[in-house]
Amino acid sequence: MKRILTGDRPTADKFHLGNYIGKLKNTVKLQDQYETFVPLVDLHALTTYFDQTEKLEANMKSLGLDYLSVGLDPNKTTIFIQSKVPEIVEIAYFLSVLTPRSIIARQPALKEKLDAGEQDTVGLFYYPILMAADILTFKANLVPVGKDQKAHVEFARDIAKKFNDLYGEVFILPEPLIGEVPTLPGTDGQTKMGKSLGNAIFLTDSPEEVEKKVMSMYTDPTRIHPTDPGHVEGNPVFIYLDAFGSEADKPQTTNYKLLYQKGQVGDIEVKKYLVKVLNNFLDPIRQRRDELEKEPGLVERILKEGTEKARIEAQKTLAEVKKAMKLDYF
């Protein structure tokens, strides 16, 4: 069976609608067809949490609850803790000796993190190599990512090919899997929804919070009056309706698009409809999370069992790597 791998840093940040549509939706949908590995990448989190390590354990539990609440099934998906699989770090070192510094320096995600104020440390510089090791250790065929993370998968593919050409076929060449909405715009109309940008709707937001954020959303800046013809394309309200509406919502969404373009419906009416659509989408996620939180020790057990399984797979890959490199001495 082919494999999928995708993970997240256990920071205090919560998942937002952009995270869901960008990769979580694909991961949940494909776990029935692929062997799925989902690491909680706490080693990556250390680049920003090096002085707040006492928070990581609680953050990992919260992240585990998030995964389960959106529909990841631990009977189908291996959810595990990255740092408890030390073979990943060892494989990352072997990849690093094949990687020129200039290649890492050009990684767009690294530049983005530096521009966001993260400390320019060796650990941060090593980030793309460790991420490549996450992917290659588990021989992932597909990596669900947001559009902005595509370069990481391409780098992992490049270094896997270099290793295979030099030592023999060990690694799978991974492919990125971009969500149906490559980049969900923020509520402020910016091109990207971001946790730190103040323009996100989170999966844990209450119905009241969702309503407040939607009613203040950016729509069409050229539309002054409700009777002015409006633009649907590029309008965040309609992008959200298309992304999160159910099949039953589609006729009404289509009708609102026609009315909006003719200047026959106001922004407030369409936004109220979007509030209803989003809360219908989020209600089951909120409910599952509330139920899961009432089961003490559930997340810890799932992570422990997942980590044990993940480590067995990582040990197999490490043995293959060492054999290919003629490092399986004695």
**What's the distance, CA 235 to chain centroid?**
23
Q: Is 146 annotated as a binding residue?
A: yes
Q: Check 113, 150, 276, 309 and give the catalytic one.
A: 113
Give the active site residue among 84, 192, 316, 322.
192
**84 labelled binding-site residue:** no
Q: Which residue has the tokens 């091109």?
A: 191
193 among the known binding-site residues? Answer: yes
Residue 2 annotated as catalytic:
no
71 is in an annotated binding site: no
Is residue 297 a known part of a binding site?
no
Q: Pick from 115, 120, 126, 179: which is nearest to 155 by CA? A: 126
| Residues 5 and 35 sit within 8 Å (Cβ to Cβ) | no
DSSP conformation letters of 55-71? GHHHHHHHHHHHHHHHT
134 is in an annotated binding site: yes
Does residue 196 have a known ligand-binding role?
Answer: yes
Is residue 216 annotated as involved in ligand binding?
A: no
DSSP secondary structure, 248-264, as one string: GGHHHHHHHHHHHHHT-
Backbone angles phi, psi at 235, to 5 degrees: -85, 115
Q: What is the DSSP annotation of 146-204?
A: -GGGHHHHHHHHHHHHHHHHHH-S-S---EEEE-SSSSPPPTTS-SS--TTTT---BTT
25 is in an annotated binding site: no
Binding site annotation covers 148? Answer: yes
Catalytic one of 14, 61, 195, 322:
195
**CA angle at 143 for the pair 171 and 166, rounded to the nearest 5°:** 20
Q: Is 203 annotated as a binding residue?
A: no
3-state helix, strand, coil in the chain (%, to 5): 60, 10, 35
- Which among 81, 189, 170, 186 has a CA at the least distance from the CA of 134? 81
- What backbone torsions phi and psi does residue 144 show, to the nearest 5 degrees? -65, 120
CA distances from 99 to 92, 120, 141, 143, 286 (A): 10, 19, 21, 21, 43
Query: Comparing C-alpha atoms, which of 81, 82, 95 is closest to residue 170?
Result: 95
Question: Is 195 annotated as contributing to ligand binding?
Answer: yes
State yes or no: is 195 an active-site residue. yes
10 is in an annotated binding site: yes
Q: At what angle do helices 236-244 and 250-262 cross, to 10 degrees?
A: 160
The binding site for ATP consists of 9-11, 18-19, 146-148, 184, 192-196
Residues marked as binding? 9-11, 18-19, 134, 146-148, 184, 192-196
| Catalytic residue annotation | 113, 192, 195
List the binding residues for L-tryptophan.
Answer: 134
